[in-house]
Chains A and B, each alone.
Chain A
């Protein structure tokens, strides 16, 4: 007896699979079902619906009001490998969209299009995948970007951590904007958009099973709206960085090095949530080194700092914005903090993984 391959379908329709199986990455019927029944209904848009090997975008869709001769594109990519996949305040899907949106926004670009590659581990509950795909869709809507290209692969059980996502993004930069890590100038005001350390401590609290009295939530958020409001207040902003891995300390060190300037800030002026502060004290960690996913650091000419701060505080993601210090002539490449008791110390790049102290 021969099997009629052309008419053969899996006896179990996809929607009855409670978990991802290797077949979902086969390129065949199961994969097409996964795309049609799970991803497409959530992520559908005209460009994605082209369903070609690549998505073709007309220049007029990119220009965003700029004349093509002045048009500058920003292009970036980022991969997300966080565990757990769903954490207090967000999940890997939202994080993957916001992370790439924020990388674009930090160059002053208006983010427009994203791609997403999903690497699924065999055995991932379909319900989790659905929830995360829905979260990708919601995050795209919130950030006002379109997901226009995608890919799915499945790896054997034990070869992944449930789900990895890679996102790439394209944005456009207006002609009057010039933001770069090497543009910090002596006298610039240093501004942070809100509390530091929320994301890292939220992840640590669930990963390590630490029970705090109040739940710490990740701050994952798209910062393009906030950046738009800041640029409307002053297009003269010199540097923007989202303070992700390595936290505020890493960003300030990178900017001090790239611009070859000194940086001074006052520890007491840095907004830190009480519960994050307490958790950091318990673990012997410094909130300046802890990751954020919805906070930025800006270097702004001092004369513009008040108007930029006012614009930030009027935005929901910048309510707790604060000026924390200045770019200085001395100690090029070094970041120096004024401490609570009036001393000073050098704040260096973190050495590697943050390790809790023994006692």
Chain B
């Protein structure tokens, strides 16, 4: 398929990998920020093909994974109401809340629907004037323009029975927070190409100066990612720290200005809690004053006081900060599987744990260990260690 196959080409990939092998002189830790990149790396088996000196650390860029438990519980509480139609992107439905997920709300009779575009929820609102339609507005800067557009359209069209439960997060503050953390040691970043398509990459220029760390804007296909790694390693080997663009077919320095304008019209920056990480200052969006009518948390003030409970086994916070690999979690593939996830990182196809579970290289020894311990046939969900 055009525009896909050329970025999954074995020869081109091999050429770039060889180039990295030629220039690399020491070990480097690079963080791919976005879960989509993690997914692509494991799906293509790229992690096994890179020179051993290059370690890829999986970043916090999975919107499903970092949505706080409290907000999932609020979503579940709203979805259970008979006067609400709860509308969401698909992969939020399996994320576990304190007690249940949105799928089980749907099974118990709640009206929970999946859409591909938030604008579809306006259509649902028009078709169901006696219900309030609540859209789960999550994501990074990538989904923010479409979510903002849905709210702006609702206002323009006078649609009153629509609200949005917002949990928007933004990338640059998270990178700053990681660089400030004493535990995190990352030599260079592969920035998320689609976030930069919207926001541009000028935001990273002060970060690069302040922390003296290279940032390379990187795409999502295997060739894009190897290209990003090569540019990042080159900078590191040459002692440079700059913002470079390895995804020029989609990203300009200024980004997509009309998309930024609609975000700014509806939302303003605010402090946001990230699941497993904690509150990061100015790392998300909330409604601007003119749009608070559409804020589901204000429309339904009684959902504010929900007590939440995280799994005691799940280490998704450490995974999201790149401190641990998913298979270093004692619950990985045992108590925690995509069928019965303990944490959000095991749910989304962009979550590092789910990506490891689904694609991680098969290791004979781990498999044998498991067979001996359980002394039974290995269930399929525990096989991919």
Contacts and interface: CB of A to CB of B under 8 A. Distances in A.
Interface in B333-366: 337-339, 348-350, 357-362, 364
B46 A355 contact: no
Interface in B140-155: 140, 142-143
Contacts of B9: 340-341
A357 B91 contact: yes
Nearest to A342: B10
A11 interface: no
A209 B13 CA distance: 37
Given A331-B362, A334-B362, A357 B90 contact: yes
Query: Which of A257, A333, A345 counts the most chain B CB atoms within 10 A?
Result: A345
Contacts of B8: 340-341
A358 B89 contact: yes
Interface residues of A, number: 33
State the majority secondary structure of interface residues on A. Answer: loop
Contacts, number: 129
Interface in A327-359: 331, 333-334, 336, 339-346, 348-349, 351-353, 355-359
Contact of A359 (B42, B45, B139, B361): B139
A333 B139 contact: no
Contact of B1 (A278, A283, A357): A278
A346 B1 contact: no
B383 A348 contact: yes
A4 interface: no
Contacts of A357: 36, 89-91, 348-350
Nearest to A355: B90
B49 interface: yes
Contact of A341 (B10, B93, B362): B10
Nearest to B140: A359
A215 B39 CA distance: 29
B13 A355 contact: no
B99 to A, nearest CB: 19
Given A208-B116, A341-B13, A348-B384, A358 B45 contact: no
B234 interface: no
Contacts of B357: 348
A277 interface: yes
14 contacts: A257-B377, A331-B362, A339-B43, A340-B222, A341-B13, A341-B44, A341-B49, A344-B48, A344-B361, A345-B43, A345-B361, A355-B94, A357-B350, A358-B138
Given A208-B116, A355-B91, A358-B348, 17 more contacts: A209-B120, A336-B362, A341-B13, A342-B10, A343-B47, A343-B49, A345-B45, A346-B358, A348-B380, A355-B114, A356-B90, A356-B114, A357-B350, A358-B63, A358-B90, A358-B92, A359-B143
